[in-house]
Amino acid sequence: MTSYRIGFDVGGTFTDSVVINEETSEIGIAKVLTTPEDPSLGVLSGVKTLLENNAVPPAAVSKAVTGGTTLITNALIERKGAHTALITSKGFRDILELGREARYDIYDLFLRMPEPFVPRNLRMEVTERILKDGSVLEALDEEEVHSRIDQLIEEKIESIAICLMHAYINSAHERRIGEMVRKRMPDVSVTLSSDVIPEIREYERTSTTVANAYVQPLTDRHFRKLADGLADLGIKGELFLMQSNGGIVTANTAREFPIKLTESGPAAGALAAVFYGQHVDLQNLISFDMGGTTAKACIIDEGQPTRTTDFEVARVHRFKKGSGLPIKISVIDMIEIGAGGGSIAYIDDMGLLKVGPKSAGAVPGPTCYGRDGTEPTVTDADLVLGFLDPDYFLGGTMVLDKEAAEKAIHDKIAKPLGISTLEAARGIHEIVNQNMATAAKIHVAEHGKDPRNYAMVAFGGAGPVHVRGVAKRLYVNIIVSPLAAGVMSAVGLLTAPPAVDFVRSYITRLENIDWSKLAVMYEEMKEKGLATLQEAGIAPEDVFFTQTADMRYAGQGYEIEVPVPNGKLSASTVDELRNSFYQTYEALFDRKVSDVPVEAVNWRLTASGPAPEAEMNVHTSEVQNLDAALKGSRQVYYPDVEDFLAASVYDHYKLYPGAEFSGPAIVEQRESTTVLGPGDSVRVDPYLNLIIELKGAAS
């Protein structure tokens, strides 16, 4: 029997599913509306539709079902997690509110900081103290711990975070408290900071531990329900989940450390861009993922997405850095912009037209969806401008109401501003493009890069519609619009290797490293990595390790992640470590200082298995006639010429490798639409991806 694998991605508006034939590399896709009240319902509905539409027997899905989810992010943003408590060292009860005592907006007189996930009355202090070298200054008062547990039992706590001073270097007290809690409260979830993030910096470590505890009961129920639902469909493949770092893990590991899945969907999109880039021979890319709620951009250098460990959740102002709660996990580094198909257009108090970040989401959705939405959105504007065919949205399974879109834009935007409906729609389209381009430009510049040296890969339901306007503003001239662009994040899930990250804090100047101590730390991380990947079915001989370290100049407050040689480190590698730091620092800041000591703070290890075999299906066509793919033409408004033009409309599925044509043109897929402007040229590669060369760039 032919074997299949499935990937699913739960987005803010749609849930995408992809099935791949292991023998032929052919894929089938399905797209259904997300079910915010219970995301597993949308997943199971999408998978069922996927199997039925592609005539795939459920039992043939025997390898894996891999998912990306917004469940954790939404639970944190909407504060729908568990009734959670914190046990911490005496004197550190208020660390969640003290934070770094930094203001994310120094000019805001009414500044609001994010509320901690644990209220003050549920933060319990215990007597104990471990010093920064791991020695015990004051033993754990177990009687006091029992007293705290009594209080938590009375409060009917569902989950407990345990985070003690310097537990990253000596976890004995944390583990003892964990044992005592589990014995007396066996039905309560327990999260130890020494398991989630054994890393220095008390505020960030506590915040991450609490966030993990906050979402753990919810995700445990969700993943169990999802696994049971897939089994009920007759699927034999094991459930895997995508982590924020781009690696996949078993559902068991995901249930233990759900906070590491916070950015699983966007991470899958970045990996998909890498996958497509390899096939079109482009190693330096900017991935541009625009869905129904947000847009994401990620830099891909030499075929690898950039990563970071600085991340925030539950921001008071979603797109203001510093207004959220810090989460110290490894994530694929990307900029998130409040710009999606469902982003709502409005007039602010100054009488100016603004777009987003508030979104109509899946419920009610844009006005044109006909689901009781009344606010004008980006999708409504795209429909009015002619970019979208109202009768071919989702391949014709969902008819859009153009008149309703025009009315919403006229009533809420055009009439108050005293302009035409067309001008208002154009304004919405142009503003959202400018917002995305500005954010992407800043993101690229912060990494010391020049966007002109990159191509863009556009995906998501709205990505190929808007990429032209964004790319021209970035002076990017090459765009890749893939086949199946609308479900590309789900495709990325099928290309991801199993991978887990570990970190240990050991602060030392390079010349003073205790090499035997460092060797023990790395050996412990490797053993955990092997055990975790073996649970996922990876043989020990197939596990690959990558080592990095967080380093800084002595006296600096923050670090940068630096590659270090794989394998055992020794005194002979000091110069190599120092030079690696210099090179990384200079690449970021265009300078280096050679006469200041360098110190390491954290030592990191990634354990990964082989990526699943995945190839794009090479297409052949006996009919190589462009007219056969031509569906007709329609009037499309192009802002750069300030007029409607007759654009040729092509069926993406009827194009053939080697086909070439120029804009103005529209290329339609069931899940997305690619827009070509006047003078833009396109060629179709062997995989039916569109390789677009833009005519000029914006000034």
Q: How many C-beta atoms lie closer than 10 Å to residue 623's C-beta?
A: 10
Give dist(CA 467, CA 694) in Å, integer: 11
Dihedral over alpha carbons 149, 151, 156, 161 (to 10 degrees): -50
Both structure tokens of 337: 């912009």
Q: Which residue segments constitute the domains of the chain, with CATH numbers given?
A: 4-76+220-261 (3.30.420.40), 79-213 (3.40.50), 263-497+611-699 (no CATH), 499-608 (no CATH)
Q: Which two tokens stand for residue 16?
A: 């995408």
Beta-carbon contacts of 288 under 8 Å, excluding residues fewer than 6 positions away, are: 295, 296, 297, 436, 440, 456, 457, 458, 459, 460, 463, 467, 470
Radius of gyration of the chain (CA): 26
Query: By C-alpha distance, which of 561, 497, 500, 563 is closest to 527?
Result: 500
* Cβ proximity of 472 and 694 under 8 Å: yes
The one-letter amino acid at 633: S
Q: For 170, list phi and psi in degrees, rounded to 5.
A: -150, 110
- Nearest by Cα to 345 from 396, 439, 419: 419
Smallest CA-to-CA distance from 285 within 431, 111, 458, 38 is with: 458
What integer pLDDT is reported at residue 699 of this predicted model? 42
The model carries a pTM of: 0.85
The closest alpha carbon to 51, from 26, 35, 73, 30, belongs to 30
Residues β-bridged to residue 459: 289
Measured CA to CA in angstroms, residue 15 lies from 339, 376, 408, 610 at distances of 18, 23, 26, 27
Show the DSSP H helices in 309-454 as ranges: 378-384, 402-409, 415-417, 421-446
Query: Tokens 């997405």 appear where?
Result: 305
pLDDT of residue 75: 85
Token representation of residue 682: 């396109």
In single-letter form, the type of residue at position 522 comes to Y
Across the chain, which has 699 residues, the per-10-residue mean pLDDT values are 87 85 84 85 92 91 87 84 96 92 84 91 96 95 96 96 96 97 96 95 95 95 93 92 92 93 88 90 92 88 88 77 88 85 92 88 87 93 96 90 96 96 96 92 87 94 94 95 88 89 95 94 94 90 94 92 90 93 90 92 94 73 83 94 95 94 94 94 94 75
CA–CA separation, 386 and 382 (whole Å): 6
CA–CA separation, 403 and 50 (whole Å): 32
CA atoms lying within 13 Å on the CB side of residue 386:
20
Contact 507/601 with Cβ under 8 angstroms? yes
Instruction: Please tell me whether residue 107 adopts helix, strand or coil conformation.
Output: coil
